[in-house]
Amino acid sequence: MRATVRAALFMYVLVTSIRPASANEFEQVWTCTIQAGHTLDEVRSAGTAWLKAARSMPGGEELQLVIRWPIAVPESAELFQFVIRAASLQTWGTFYDGYHPDSPAGKADEVFASIATCSGSTLWESIEIGVEPRIDRTGHRGSTRDS
């Protein structure tokens, strides 16, 4: 009986901890600098306009945008990252295939470029690391004791 319970518990943990590759997010990260005379609030406003434009395009409906603003930086106080998140490479590809200077996001880029200069981007895959709560000898989750 104990072996059956242990096997069932093992299978439960195994099945609930396996995630399909499509569960990962993909991010394009741009390194940017605010142009002289502009503010973070202007970057946020232009970012909001860009995201609304991107979401109006095929593949852009569920894109997310994050501005990473450093809180401890020895270099430049104007440095930040512009991060576009997509749920899958297929979603990203659909959006990117429709992106051109005359697309809604392309036009929003012109406004953003008047506030910040971005150079070089990288495409990242975010791989979530999950750890199941500890299960004690009695089968209780999250116990800190082994009694």
Q: Report the DSSP beta bridge partners of residue 122.
A: 29
pLDDT band at 121 (very low <50, low <70, confident <90, very high): very high
Give the CATH class of 23-126.
Answer: alpha beta
Residue of 3, 57, 36 lying closest to 117 (CA atoms) = 36
Enter the pTM of the model: 0.70
Per-residue model confidence as pLDDT tens digits over 21-34: 446 789 999 999 99
Tokens representing 48 are 């909001």
